[in-house]
Structure 1
Amino acid sequence: MIKNYIKIAWRNLKRNKAYASISVIGLALGMACGILIFTLVTYHLSFDNFHHSPDRIYRFVTEWHDEQVDKSSAVPVPVAKAFRSNFTLGEKVGRTVSYERTLITFNDGKEVKKFREENGVAFTEPQYFDILNFPLIKGDKNTVLKQPGQAIITQKLAEKYFGKEDAMGKVIRLDNQVSFTITGILKNLPINTDRKQEIYLSYADFKTYTGGGLEDNWGGVYSGSEAFILLKTGVSKAQAEAALAQLRNKNFKGRDQKVWQFKLQPLNDIHFNAELDGYADKKYLWALFFIGLFLIITACVNFVNLATAQALNRSKEVGIRKVMGSLPRHLFWQFIAETAIITFVAVVLAGVLAELTLPLLNGLFHSEMQFHWMELSLFITVTAVIVVFLSGSYPGLVLARFQPILALKSKLSQKDIGGFSLRRVLVVTQFAISQIMIIGSIIVISQLRYSQNTDLGFNKNAIVMFPMPKNDKATVSSMKAQLGEIPGIENVSFCYAPPASGSNSTTGVNYDNRPEPEHWGINMKFADANYLSTFNIKLVAGRNLFASDTTREFLVNETFCRKLGLKPQDVIGKNLAVNGKTSHGPIVGVVKDFYNYSFHTEIAPICIMPAVKNYSNCAVKINMRTAKTTLASIQKTWSSTFPEELYSYNFLSDSIAKFYDQDNILLSLVEAFAAIAIIIGCLGLYGLVSFMAVRKTKEIGVRKVLGANLISVLWLFGKEFTRLLLIAFVIAAPIAWYVMHNYLQDFHYRIHIGPGIFLISIASTFAIAAITVGYRAMLSATTNPVKSLRSE
């Protein structure tokens, strides 16, 4: 019996190739999206779930409770050490301080090899590896990183540096400052971890590398300073946070005791908490899940629309079968068999599409997702079974209940083949979702364009940034003189970071010798006197800095003045002390506000001050017409000054564009899903117009016999779908406004959602629908009326 069902089903599908093809394409698109979204969601949910006792692992974090609550995934360096020394709540407590884009060099006997490691290095206490499960494949876990000068690297880096040679015992050098002997090889880090450093160094060398300024500094938070704790069994998070409050009260005074707070963040929250630098927000994963579910359901709906539209064409076949003795259940299972064949082909095609698309998805997310076929096979099987019965049941029941006499006489009515109103509702729903996606795409594009084209308060174009490995006075002066002789260079500034940067160092501030520090922090920018002219930052009061090697005076921004409730001219000459009062001097100028980070974040109070020892970068304004020769000359000059270093540079405009990487990923996803939703929606629309065409065949024939022209016949279809699309727009517009309004709240500086966005959406939807409806309507409108009416 089953073999017979399949054989007949295959013949029917071969006879109706267009119907079968459209059904397969719709289901394949929906299921391919389902497979990819399932893979993406399970990939992110698996992050850092492989550690032992993950429910007892926490990360120390910092919160500042003032005018608003600000959070950081880092803590002052001494916090974890003090917690370990004063309390016994933690089974293990481990600190790690990381630095990105570090230089690693070593001598292989013939030459000095140089590698710029983007993920950098981490000075790490041994306890870190007792908390997190990163196993060694070589070396002694009991002694690793316990002595100064020790390093462990991953197997991947060992092969990259030394090939087939044994890396154990090899010596590497960090930034040409400190040497380390490799005493352990780590198993390659799993792809589903947020820990990215592949070089771990003895924490005992941290003070040597940095000069020791952070080790006892409770008042500053370096973004790379993290600490983890494995709580003892039975110890609660609340108990540990109460102990942290005691530490705060002991080490902070006055207002700071209320402002500064230290908390514990669960391990399973790290990947998802956007406020604490998490990569993936769970609300977006849930949104993806429902999008995938919707696409699969709408593909099934399209199948139902197309199948029931074909029902009249099969009425005589059904009538003959019933006369020959077929029972309703036989007809039902016959149609289920047809659906199963279509679904099987769609699953195969979906698998191929998913395989082809996964590398693009990995490139978009900078990830290494892979298909785990054991999990996927279960997902695909369950989905396929649901799709078969969801798609096949209703059309099968419709066919099975045909009255044989009416079927053979072609006297079936609309009631016999299923209601039209349900299809209207489904098409409205499909196009409402499509319009929401279109509106979302337009708004994300507009916000990104706004972020890229709005005046930042400084010049980002034609600025080349490159590192300064040595920043003593003599080296800086020599480099400045040599760069000044290169044609095509218009200006040079030495600084810690450009005006807008991810490396924003924030510290406490004391204004005008007040006894208490202000209850907000200030962003320190170390820079020379050419900083303003190189980046074209405007002064609004006072003067520029005088050339100096040390901090003797300050520039501040307009936001600083507003925080104090003063006018720019009122702060000129007043004393300013920052960084624990280690740097102090008069304010000599106020600069116009500029964006010191992305548009997601409010402009912070800023102070600009000279300090040669902190000039880790050089900013060069170049003439882009001679960029190629100028960049070559810069490289030659730099390499002759720092022959032991590895040269690299980047354009400031490219660095700023990276602030919006996540938004670009979101845009790509929204555009892709919008396109797929539109395609599936169009297939649903085609199913509905096909159904209408079958239902109105004789009406169209009568109208044409009575003299109706082509336009009036086409309008029979057009007026129906114009109504449906307008209803879809009325539903979609407020939902899209609400969703995108919430999205824009993530930007402190954002666009206004105007009516033009909605007009573009409805116009594009009408254009797409007109093409879809027009094709099928034209076929019906140009049919010879003799054929339509001959049964009469």
Structure 2
Amino acid sequence: MFRNYLLVALRNLGRYRAYTFLNLMGLITGLVACLLIMLWVHDERTYDRQFSDVERLYRVNVAVGDRPIFALTSWPYGPTLAREVAGVEKSVRVWQTAGVLLGQGDLRIQESASFFADSAFLSLFDFPVLVGEPQTALAAPFTMVLTESLAKRLFNRIDVVGERVRVDNQDDYTVTAVVADPPTNTHVQFQLLRSMATFYAQAQQQGFDPETQWMSFTNQSTYVRLTPGTAPSDVAAQFPAMFERHMGDLIERMGLKIAAELQPVTAIHLHPVAEELTPGGNRAYVIIFTLIALFILGIACINFMNLATARATRRAREVGVRKVAGAYRGQLIGQFLSESLLLTLAALAVALGTAELLLPAFNNLTGKALSLAFVGTPWGLLLLLVFGLAVGLLAGLYPAFVLSGFRPTEVLKGSGQAARVATGTQVVTLRQGLVVTQFALSAGLIICTLMVYQQLNYLQNSQLGFQKEHVLTLNLPGDSTVQRHLESFRTAFTQHPMVLGATTASVVPSLNENYNPVAKEGAAPDDSQIMYVVQSDPHYLQTLGLELSAGRNFSEEIPSDQTDAFLINESAAKVLGLDNPVGERLEWRGGPDARTGTIVGVVKDYHFRSLHATITPALFFLNAQRANFLVVRLRPGYPAEALHDLERAWKSRLPDWPFNYQFLDESFGRQYQAEERLARLFTVFAGLAIFVACLGLFGLAAYTTEQRTKEIGVRKVLGATIPQILGLLSREYAMLLGVAFVIAAPVAGYLMRSWMTNFAYHIGFSAWPYLFAVGLVLSIALLTVSVQSLRAALANPVRSLRSE
């Protein structure tokens, strides 16, 4: 029986080639889109799940004062948690540092993905260790772990345990292990690990004890592994007592509220908080693109149902003859489902090949390294087979029941039951509903795409309150010799005719952040505020084009500015309750270097973070010895030779440190990579949705035109013009598209309003995306219909009426 089903299915698919082609194209497109999107979704949902005992791995997040919760902790958190908190089996701290210079013989490599880490790192995050002992690799001072790719860049091999690497032209480290490169779907992205014991050894030499610095929130994250059976809530409940034991006096003196939580490592990527080690994902995007995949596949299935029911008249006599010959309805349902499944499995096979060809471009679009390797596994094949069967049943079940329900006496007598089925109220209403659904989804995707692009354009072109164009930044080494000669280093750059200004600073907008408590001098402890802190030379405001709303800038002519002067931004003045802040005294409570000083000026608010977040209070003071960056502002239209000149000036002073720079506007742009990819993906898949919907519409228009051939002939004989006939055939579809837009517009608007809540600053809502979407969908759809309608309108009426 199955062999008979297969032969008949092949015969029918071959007989109706146009129908088969339209359905195949629609199914292939829908399946390719669905496969690619679901690969992306699977990758997003499986971040950090490759580690052993991952269900017991958590990160400690902290909230200080009114500031949103963030992923940074201070030095003592890790050891104290492991030592004092019941239920914590192990802890590890990961400190992301600025780029380091690695030296091996004459080779120099600058590496930005550098961490300090505790010795338990390779126990909690068990990346495959290719060479070395993971338990002891990070135990001793001045030891390091390399990734496979970095080892090959430095030594051209991986068996390098015991080799020495010089860091920042100062210290020699011993390589103790080589691990596999981290996969792309983990938030712990590194190339180099240095032992935390190294930092502690260096701190002791400087008389600095990190274990006392409970309020020093650097780029450091703390992770813990809980003992089996321990609930994270039981561990988190012990945090207040730990804070009271170690920070009770400090909290009371500073008037701060400190809270902490445990976040599962597997939840970090899709539920990021502030100050992540790497940019996080967005759970909303995963949901959105899952729905888009289902929408596009659903559109393809709708096409199948529409075209199958529209072809009812062509299969009516076949059904009648089969029933007269003794076929049961179940057998006929099996026959039609066989055709549907055969078509779907053929489309799936082609879709897999197409997806493999398109995967490199898709990876480039999404910034991932996805693959179809799962297809070669038994479970992958089974999943695809089940998926293909499900799609085939979804697309073919309703048409199978409709076609198998014909009564043989009527269709064989020619009484028109098949025509009534194909054109009857129930089926026509269903078909119209399916067309409306298709184009509502398509119009909704277009509206969302336009709004995402509007918001992205707003993010990229908004005035940030400072000069980010033509500004380049360079990481400065921590070499004490360099730090002592920063001013002469900066002056050498400002002497170039294409340079408008240069400054050294601890933080630069979009690149890094530092926060400390600040209060009015002599104020009650509960008046402290956490502020963004900038330590720089006097040229910071001028170089970045920052403006003052009151007071003056720092001056090299006033010696007291070096130790007794502050600038604040307008937001800081508001939270401190200062109507006339110039002349007021403040305390910066930033650890052992805390100072007091007088406010000498107020900086106009500017966006030093992305527009996802609001502007926070900021404090500025002079301290060039804490400089992490050299910032250079170039004249607009500078020639390429200017960069070569600056490189020569850099090399003359730092011959071993690469001249690796980045432009500030590009750094800001990278903060919106997720939105850029979202916009591109929306564009691609909105186009695919329109394409698939128009394939079905083309087939339906062909069927409708065929059914009304004689009517068109009569109308032409009676004097109807070609535009009138085109209007007649297109009117129904225009009405359906209007209904689709009425449904799509409010739904898309609601979704976009929800999405906009991710941004502290966003566009307003205007009518043009809706008008553009309806115009585009209507134009494409009517053009598709008109191709068939025009053929019918131009046909000779004699041919269509000859049989009468």
- What TM-score comes out, normalization by structure 1 length? 0.93
d(CA) in 2 for partners of 1:396, 1:240: 58
Corresponding position of 1:536 = 545
Aligned partner (choices 200, 203, 206) of residue 193 of structure 2: 200
- CA 1:452–1:193 in structure 2 vs 1: closer, same or farther (change >3 Å)? closer
- Name the CA distance, whole Å, in 2 between partners of 1:480 and 1:298: 61
Alignment of 1:230 with 2:225, yes or no, is yes
Q: Aligned partner of 2:108: which letter?
A: K
* Alpha-carbon shift at residue 790 of structure 1 (Å): 4.0
2:116 maps to 123
1:582 deviates by 1.0
Question: Quick check: 1:174 aligned with 2:171?
Answer: no
2:385 is matched with which residue?
381
Residue 455, structure 1, aligned to residue 449, structure 2: no
Query: Aligned partners of 1:146 and 1:473: how far apart in 2?
Result: 30
Q: Which residue of 2 aligns with 1:397?
A: 401
Question: Is 1:105–1:173's contact at 8 Å kept on the other side of the alignment?
Answer: yes
Query: Which amino acid counterpart does residue 269 of structure 2 have in structure 1?
Result: H
Partner of 2:729: helix, strand, or coil?
A: helix
Q: 1:519 to 1:725 in 2, by over 3 A?
A: farther
Aligned counterparts, 1:294-693, within 5 A: 294-319=295-320, 321=322, 327-371=328-372, 372-373=374-375, 374=377, 375-404=379-408, 406-408=410-412, 409=414, 411-412=416-417, 414-417=419-422, 419-469=427-477, 470=479, 472=482, 474-498=484-508, 500-516=509-525, 518-547=527-556, 550-567=562-579, 569-580=580-591, 582-693=594-705
Where 1:71 maps in the other structure, the secondary structure is coil
Residue 167 of structure 1 deviates from its aligned partner by 0.7
In the TM superposition, residue 318 of structure 1 has moved relative to its aligned partner by 4.4
CA separation of 1:386/1:613 partners in 2, compared to 1, >3 Å: closer, same or farther?
Answer: same
Which residue pairs with 1:114 in the alignment?
Answer: 108
Separation of aligned partners in 2, 1:245 and 1:647: 47
Aligned mates of 1:750, 1:390 — CA distance in 2: 40
CA deviation digits over 1:271-291, x for unaligned, max 9? 221335472333332332222
Paired with 1:480 and 1:608, the residues of 2 have a C-alpha distance of 19
Query: Percent identity of the aligned residues?
Result: 30
Is residue 554–residue 576 contact of structure 1 (8 Å, CA) maintained in 2? Answer: no
Give the SS at the match of 1:194.
Answer: coil
Change in 2 beyond 3 A, CA 1:146/1:275: closer
| Superimposed CA distance per residue, residues 48-96 of structure 1 (whole angstroms, 9 cap, x where no aligned partner) | 2232222222111102353xx6111121111122222333432212222
Letter in 1 for 2:581: D
Answer whether contact 2:566 2:619 (CA < 8 A) is retained.
yes
Give secondary structure in 2 for the equivalent of 1:344: helix
CA distance in 2, matches of 1:233, 1:379: 33
Structure 1's 627 and 518: CA in aligned 2 closer, same or farther, altered over 3 A?
Answer: farther
CA 156–422 in structure 1, closer or farther in 2 if over 3 Å, else same: same
Q: How far does residue 325 in structure 1 lie from its aligned partner after superposition? A: 5.7
Structure 2 distance, partners of 1:50, 1:448, is: 34
Residue-by-residue CA offset, 1:298-349 (whole Å, 9 max, x unaligned): 2111011112222323444545555666554454443333323322321122
Aligned mates of 2:488, 2:401 — CA distance in 1: 86
Moved more, 462-471 or 736-745: 462-471
2:81 to 63, 80, 83: 83
Correspondence for 2:71: 73
Which sits farther off after the overlay, 584-593 or 384-393? Answer: 384-393
Residue 156 of structure 2: aligned partner: 163
Q: Distance in 2 between matches of 1:463 and 1:191?
A: 31
**Stretch of structure 1 that moved more, 323-332 or 278-287:** 323-332
Report the more deviating stretch, 551-560 or 454-463.
551-560
Aligned to 1:14: 14
> Does the CA contact (< 8 Å) of 2:58 and 2:263 recur in 1?
yes
Contact 1:497–1:503, Cα closer than 8 Å, also in 2: yes
Supply the distance in 2 between the matched residues of 1:519 and 1:28 (Cα, whole angstroms). 61
Shift of 1:363: 2.1
Closer, same or farther: CA 216–690 of 1 in aligned 2, 3 Å: farther
Secondary structure of the residue aligned to 2:89 is: strand
Query: How far apart, CA to CA, are the structure 2 residues paired with 1:346 and 1:44?
Result: 27
Structure 1 residues 366 and 103, CA, compared in 2 at 3 Å: closer, same or farther? Answer: farther
1:390 corresponds to which letter in structure 2? Answer: L
Do the aligned partners of 1:508 and 1:518 also contact (CA within 8 Å) in 2?
no
Deviation at 1:405, TM superposition (A): 5.4
CA contact (8 A) 1:577 1:583 kept: yes
Q: Given the alignment, which residue of 212, 216, 229 partners 2:212? A: 216
- 1:570–1:95 distance in 2 versus 1, CA, 3 Å: closer
The aligned amino acid for 1:36 is: L
Once residues 34 and 248 of structure 1 are traced to their aligned partners in structure 2, the CA distance between those partners, rounded to angstroms, is: 49
Decide which moves more: 142-151 or 535-544. Answer: 142-151
Aligned length: 782
What CA deviation, in whole Å up to 9, does each residue of 1:141-185 have, x standing for no partner? 443222212112223322222113631111112222332101122
The Cα of 1:140 is off from its aligned counterpart by 2.9
Please tell me whether the aligned partners of residues 22 and 699 of structure 2 are also in contact (alpha carbons under 8 angstroms).
Answer: no
Displacement after TM superposition at 1:562 (Å): 1.6
Contact 1:576 1:587 in 2 (8 A): no
What does residue 32 of structure 2 align with? 32
Which whole-Å deviations, capped at 9, do the CAs of 1:638-662 have from their partners, x for residues lacking one? 0111012122011111111111011
Please report the TM-score for the alignment, with normalisation by the length of structure 2: 0.92
- TM-superposed deviation, 1:671: 1.3
Matched-pair contact (CA < 8 Å) for 2:587–2:594: no
The answer to whether the 8 Å contact 2:28/2:347 transfers is: yes
Equivalent of residue 249 in structure 1, options 244, 251, 274? 244
Moved more, 274-283 or 91-100: 274-283
The CA RMSD over aligned residues, in Å, is: 2.4
Q: Which runs of 5+ in 1 are unaligned?
A: none
Question: Which residue of structure 2 aligns with residue 289 of structure 1?
Answer: 290
| Residues 364 and 520 of structure 1, relative CA distance in 2, 3 Å threshold | farther
CA contact (8 A) 1:91 1:232 kept: yes
**Paired AA for residue 72 in structure 2:** A
Tell me, what secondary structure is at the counterpart of 1:200? Answer: strand
Q: Contact 1:557/1:605 (CA < 8 Å) preserved in 2?
A: yes
The answer on whether the counterparts of 1:460 and 1:653 sit within 8 Å (CA) in structure 2 is yes
Q: Secondary structure, in 3 states, of the residue corresponding to 1:36?
A: helix
Aligned equivalent of 1:146, options 130, 136, 139: 139
Q: Which moved more, 1:177-186 or 1:319-328?
A: 319-328
